[in-house]
Amino acid sequence: MRLLVSGGGTGGHIYPALALIERLKQVEPDTEVLYVGTTRGLENKIVPAAGLKLKTLHTQGFKRSLSLENFKTLYLFVKSVHDAKKIIRDFHPDVVLGTGGYVSGAVLYAAAKMHIPTVIHEQNSVVGITNKFLSRYVDEIAIAFEAARAQFPANKVHMTGNPRAQQVAANLNSDYSWTNDGLRDDQPTMMIFGGSQGAPKINQSVVDAIPEFNKRDYQVIFATGQKRYQKVMEKLRNVSVGKNVKVVPYIPDMPKKLPKVAALVSRAGATTIAEITALGIPTILIPSPYVTANHQVKNAQALVKKGAALMILEDQLDARTLLLQADKIMENAAVRQKMAEASKQIGKPNAADLLIDVLKKAERDHQ
């Protein structure tokens, strides 16, 4: 298969694409892939590092208020569609996949107008503006949350889950030992992190809760985010940190460690949810309030309704609410087991394979 993939701006659009590509090359080693991203997005580092060819287009998003910048956005979109058609003609893809971001709008629109098979993948429960626009033109639509189904033309939708889930599920039988982090393997361990940059409100709540965490019979590994580590350590200067609590700037080898955690405290991004449901990890979700259409709350609610997670809204987060929910999970093995089973019911450990089937359907239907 000759696959052209477009998705850019954030890791949430890039990592599912890379997981899909990795799996496709396992089942079809002769697969040829070209990735089309933005000139300024994270894909400029991540995609070449994965050994893939990258082409870039200059795009930007629409302002939600009246702005002269929107005229520039429209001009860049038209230009990007023209440039995308040239890239498509040169590469001759069998199918084109869009995983989100403004750049995928231009690329998938161009491909659809050229009558090339097209598929979009929506990672979130609230559909992004680009995929809403593209849904009228593409052949097939893959979703990761049932809540997204009603926001698309019904005859095009396929529930596949997020390809990142299958990539993570491959590490299900990890032999990682917590002794590498100065912790023990005979106590349940809760991991807390607010994303790669860290989250100030989560960090402050954990700092305030540490004196109580010290007294618990479970362990806590807490990642502050690299750029916020020093600030957190300053706040802990006069606080005793117990042997059962480990404070780190970031968590390397996450795929190896996640299968070993008893519970997780995290944001509710689409990639995170794909990972935790693939592994069946009981989770306390703290949705970011700084995202479009409050989609992380909707993502979290999908798990809460199934009994797979608890949720604390950021404006309700403090040491007391965090400890209350942490104890509810960590001090009761039966609760953890029930939540883990509910999480696995949501997860799609074969998500990449399901998305490959959708790509092949789009390709077949054009023959």
Question: What's the CA gap between 134 and 152, in Å, rounded?
Answer: 10
User: Do the strands 219-223 and 95-100 form a parallel or antiparallel pair, or are they unpaired?
Assistant: unpaired
Q: Say whether 10 counts as a known binding-site residue.
A: yes
Question: What's the CA gap between 197 and 203, in Å, rounded?
Answer: 11
Q: Say whether 198 counts as a known binding-site residue.
A: no
3-state SS, residue 32: strand
3-state SS, residue 35: strand
Give the CA distances from residue 254 to residues 71, 144, 348, 366, in Å, rounded to whole numbers and listed in that order.
43, 22, 19, 40
Q: Which two tokens stand for residue 78?
A: 């038209």
247 pairs with which residues across the strands?
Answer: 222
Q: Say whether 210 counts as a known binding-site residue.
A: no
Question: What's the CA gap between 165 and 180, in Å, rounded?
Answer: 25
* Torsions phi, psi for 85 (to 5 deg): -60, -40
Q: Say whether 196 counts as a known binding-site residue.
A: yes
Q: Say whether 51 counts as a known binding-site residue.
A: no
| Nearest CA among 133, 158, 128 for reference residue 143 | 158
The C-alpha R_g of the chain, in whole angstroms, comes to 21
Q: Say whether 266 counts as a known binding-site residue.
A: no
Q: Say whether 61 counts as a known binding-site residue.
A: no
Are 117 and 366 spatial neighbours (Cβ–Cβ below 8 Å)? yes
| Nearest CA among 243, 224, 222 for reference residue 232 | 224
What angle, 0 to 180 degrees and rounded to 10, lies between the N-to-C axes of helices 295-305 and 270-279? 20
| Nearest CA among 42, 77, 34 for reference residue 57 | 77
Q: Dihedral, CA atoms, 251, 252, 258, 259, nearest 10 degrees?
A: -150
DSSP string, 82-112: HHHHHHHHHH--SEEEEEESHHHHHHHHHHH
Binding residue numbers for UDP-N-acetyl-alpha-D-glucosamine: 10-12, 124, 196, 251, 296
Binding residue numbers: 10-12, 124, 196, 251, 296
